[in-house]
């Protein structure tokens, strides 16, 4: 996963399986949008953060090396779940599904995760 305002990619978490699997990997649904499921994405570069008095540390090469941590604030379900595929009686997530963070970041999948090694 990735957030458009974050500096790092992360994996989505599923503390407890819904009992549906593809290629031996658990499937998720539109309600898997809590802080247990969605990790932080490094440093937050949200325009909302920049509007405050935030200090970013930049290296001599112009690379960001520090700033405010990403703390996703999610208040809605996943957008664009697959309505006709149910996981625990709720629409399943796909690579097209995304979340919007209160800091204006768009959280999306980089892959389906079904072929990733553990």
At 35-94, the pLDDT tens digits run 999 999 998 888 887 665 555 566 666 666 667 888 999 999 999 999 999 999 999 999
Domain locations along the chain: 1-118
At 80-89, the pLDDT tens digits run 999 999 999 9
Angle at 93 between CA 10 and CA 71, to 5 degrees: 35
Q: Is the pLDDT of residue 118 over 60?
A: no
- With 0.75 as the threshold, say if the pTM is over it: yes
Whether residue 8 contacts residue 64, with contact meaning beta carbons closer than 8 Å, is answered with no
């Amino acid at each position: 996963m990735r957030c458009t305002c974050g500096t790092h990619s992360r994996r989505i978490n599923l503390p407890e399986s819904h009992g549906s699997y593809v290629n031996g990997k658990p499937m998720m649904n539109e309600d898997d949008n809590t802080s247990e499921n969605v990790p932080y994405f490094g440093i937050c570069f949200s325009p909302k953060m920049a509007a405050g008095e935030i200090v970013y540390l930049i290296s001599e090469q112009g690379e960001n090396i520090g700033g405010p941590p990403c703390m996703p604030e999610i208040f809605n379900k996943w957008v664009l779940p697959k309505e006709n595929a149910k996981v625990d009686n709720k629409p399943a997530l796909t690579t097209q599904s995304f979340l919007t963070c209160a800091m204006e970041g768009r959280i999306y999948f980089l892959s389906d995760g079904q072929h990733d090694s553990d």
